[in-house]
Each structure stands twice: as structure tokens, then as C-alpha cells.
Amino acid sequence: MDVWVKQLAVMALLAVADAALPKPARAPLVLHKPFLVVWNAPTEQCRLRYKVDLDLGVFDIASNINETLSGANVTIFYHTHLGYYPYYSDNGDPINGGVPQNESLIKHLSKAKSDIDYCIPMKKFQGLAVIDWENWRPQWDRNWGNKSIYRNKSLEIVRRRHPRWSEDKIRKVAKEEFENAGRSFMNNTILLAEHMRPNGLWGYYLYPDCYNYDYKEHPQTYTGKCPTIESFRNDLLLWLWKESTALYPSIYLDYILKSSPNALKFVHFRVKEAIRVASIARKDYVLPVFVYSRPFYAYTFHVLTERDLVNTIGESAALGAAGVVLWGSMQYASSKESCLTVKRYIDGALGHYVINVTSAAKLCSKVLCKKNGRCIRKNSDSSAYLHLSPTDFKICHRHSERGPRFQVTGELSLESIEAMKQRFICQCYQGWTGIFCELPDQRLLEHWVHVVFSKSRKQSLYIFLLGAMQLLLPLLSAGWSVSGK
């Protein structure tokens, strides 16, 4: 009987807490930094060749030593750098068999092992590990346009083996063979990577995708929402999310979206879908979401406007992403003028905004979540942002030998704290719970109940009620009902 009562007590306490609280998040990559902005552009030539020293101190992670695309902090594996990835060239020539069912998985994994050892020699690597395989998608129905070649070649393989089969049967078998082989390639590759470098945050670039690209065709009626069928297809990729340790969606903005309402819609629903997927991947915590963005509009050298910095970096932070990775190409360091353009942007609007958002996220985590969680919007569709109040804080340039650095001065007012409480809630890190992440996790809670029920019945009930009230009072003071609505 006592065992049953203890279990009931634990379940009751956890039910009260879990009914209102977001699923816990993995602890941040950098201690007490709930939202990271990572610089991931090969800009080392600016310093070495053109004597333009970029001040990357505004970023939480300045990519890697010498500002390369891959290294100790961030490593990207392109399709030519990890194993024997099967694909078709732009000329239609098969590379490594062309389609996954044509390539040896064992041979691929053996080469992938060597590539991981070479690219990430540190056994205790703890950075972002991104696999960038974009030539084909593991789901048959998502290989359209220039990716149709993977369906057509798969059909040819089955048709050659079974020339007398009906087209329906050929299509059915071709789809099964392609999807099974594609799944095996992606799953076994990431499992191998995690086995070799278990502390890395492994995931595939552009996964999950939202496929909300119709802003060009229907700009006036564009909603930004992911098509229902695409969210359903993302659910079918649960096998991939379960093996990933981070998600890396993309929010690159086309120039046509510049400073438009559609830019915000595009980003909002892409990040929201990634966070939804991150929450179903595991039972114990939400996968960290690192959103890939660019400091320039896609395929241009035009810097993002301040409004679009809010639409990308700001929106990602407010929705609960673990960070934003600012990816850049070789063009950033292609000339002295290019380097100076990048430097002016970092020293100006970009650096100023990055400091604003990361400081606000850190402050909100400290004030609202006891440094044991990150602040996320109470209403995900609201316009609340993690920004420093201009009446409370000033972001100033502090000149140094390496150029301007930013310094934040000021104090958080009571009005700003109240505004935070109204607009944001805490998503606790693993090991913490409660409205303000002030309570220990389930294991400690079970220990507490065990201690409680070793006392007299009357005293046990009294302490149990006190514990329940400790959970309930913060909800009520924050204006919540027990159901969290």
C-alpha cells in the first residue's frame, strides 16, 4: 500500500507540473547562454590576404580557428566529404552508383569512418556537426523537379530486372527500394557519427523542411504555413529525428522577401515546424534547433535590413531555437572591398542586433528561469521578441585595437520584468521543472516523496500538500490555470 501511495504522489506532482510546462530542452552548448549566434563563414582570407581584421567577438561561437567552415566548433560534411554518397552529377552522370540502392552501404560507412576521423580528430568534440546531403531526399514523393532523376533511375532499375511487370508494380517496388536504401544510408551514417563523436550535435542540414516556398507565385495570398501534407511527411521521418541529436533547418531569405511581411511568415512557420519536430523526436527532451541563416540575402551580396534581422535571428530566438548559424560563402573574403563590407556590417547593424538578442535571452533566462531554462513566447504566434528595453539599456561601441566592440550598460526595470512574465514562459533544461525552473527533476522528486512517506501519515500529507502548493502557486501568480490555458 505504501509503495502505491508513493507512486501516486509522484504522479500527482508531476502531472500538475507537466500539464502546464513545455517539454524540457537539452542544456545549452555554452553554459548560461540560452541562445547562440554562430559565425560560420570562411573569412580567414580577409585577415591573411587583405589585412582586414573582422571583430567576431560579438558572436557566441566565431566558427572555428582561422574562421574556416569546418573545425573544432562547427563541422559541415558536404556530399563529397563523407563516405561514398550516391548522387547524379549536373550532367546526369552517376556518382557512387547514382541512387542509394546501387551503392554498398558497408563500403560507404568504412569511408565515412575515415572521413570523420580526419575532419574531427578530437574524440571529445562537442560542437555542431552538420551533414549537408541535398542531392536527393529519402522520401520518394519529395524528389520532384531536378530531383526527379532519382525516381526515374530507380524505375529503370526495376524495369530492367522485371520487364514484364506492370508499371504500377514497378513503381511500387522502385519506391520501396529507393526509400529503404535512402533510409539506411542516412540512419546508419548518423549512427556511426554519433558512435564515433558522441558529444557532437549531429543532424542533417535543411531537415526538417516546411516547403513554404510559394511566396513568389502567390505573394498577395501567401500565409507562410507549411502545407499539411508536408507536416505529415515530416512525421513519417520520425526514424531520422530519433537518431538526430540536433536539427538544422534553413531560413535563407530571397531578396524578393526583403523587409516584407512575407519574410516574417516564411521564417516563422519554418522555425515553428522545426521546433514541433524537435519536440516529437524524443520522450525526455526537445532536440536543440540551430537555424541556418545568412547575413546577406540568398545569392546576393546585399546585407539583411534591420527589420529582416528581427525576422530571422529575433524570430528564431523568441520561438525557442537554441541558436542561429550565420553561414557564408567564399565571396565574403573574395576581395578587400568584400571584406570591408562584411566588417562594416558586423561592426554596425548585425553586431548591434546580435548583442541585443543574445543579451536579452541571457537576461530573461536569469530573471525568469533561474538560469535553468530559456525563455520562449507564451503565445508562439505573438509579436513578442527577446529585445533589451531601450529605456533600460544602452548598447555602446567600445573601441579597441581590433576595432569596435559592443558594451551593454543598464539595469532591468520592474516594468520590463513584468513585461517578460506576460509575454514569455520558461522552457526548463533537463533536470529542472516548475514555472520558473526552480524545482529539481523527477529523480530528485521521487527521492523527496520517499523521504516524505517515511514519516507519519498526517505529517506526510501536510508535506505533500506543501509541495503541491509550491508547484501551483507560481502558476496562479503568473495568471495560469492548472490546465495551462
Question: Contact, 263 vs 297, CB < 8 A?
Answer: no
Beta bridge partners of 290: 323
User: In this structure, which amino acid lies at residue 476?
Assistant: L
Beta bridge partners of 323: 36, 290
Write down the residue that cell numbers 567600445 correspond to: 398
Q: How many CB atoms lie within 10 A of CB 103?
A: 21
Q: Residue 204: which H helix or E strand, with range?
A: strand 201-204
**Separation CA 282–CA 152 (nearest Å):** 35
DSSP 129-166: EEEE--S--SSGGG--GGGHHHHHHHHHHHHHH-TTS-
Q: Which of these is catalytic: 44, 134, 315, 418?
A: 134
**Separation CA 471–CA 436 (nearest Å):** 10
Three-state SS for 384-421 is CCCCCCCCCEEEEEEEECCEEEEEEEECCCHHHHHHHH
**Separation CA 359–CA 130 (nearest Å):** 26
**Separation CA 325–CA 37 (nearest Å):** 6
Q: Is 134 a catalytic residue?
A: yes
**Separation CA 244–CA 209 (nearest Å):** 15
- Rounded to 10°, the helix 148-161/167-196 angle is 120
Give the Å distances, CA to CA, from 260 to 212, 265, 373: 15, 9, 32
Question: Contact, 269 vs 377, CB < 8 A?
Answer: no
Q: Where are the beta strands (DSSP E) in 233-372?
A: 290-293, 323-327
**Separation CA 87–CA 102 (nearest Å):** 10
- Cis link prior to 208 (omega < 30° from 0)? yes
Question: Contact, 50 vs 103, CB < 8 A?
Answer: no
Q: Where are the alpha helices (DSSP H) in 220-260?
A: 228-236, 238-243
User: In this structure, which amino acid lies at residue 101?
Assistant: Q
Q: Where are the beta strands (DSSP E) in 328-479?
A: 373-377, 393-400, 403-410, 424-428, 432-433, 439-440
Q: Which residues are catalytic?
A: 134
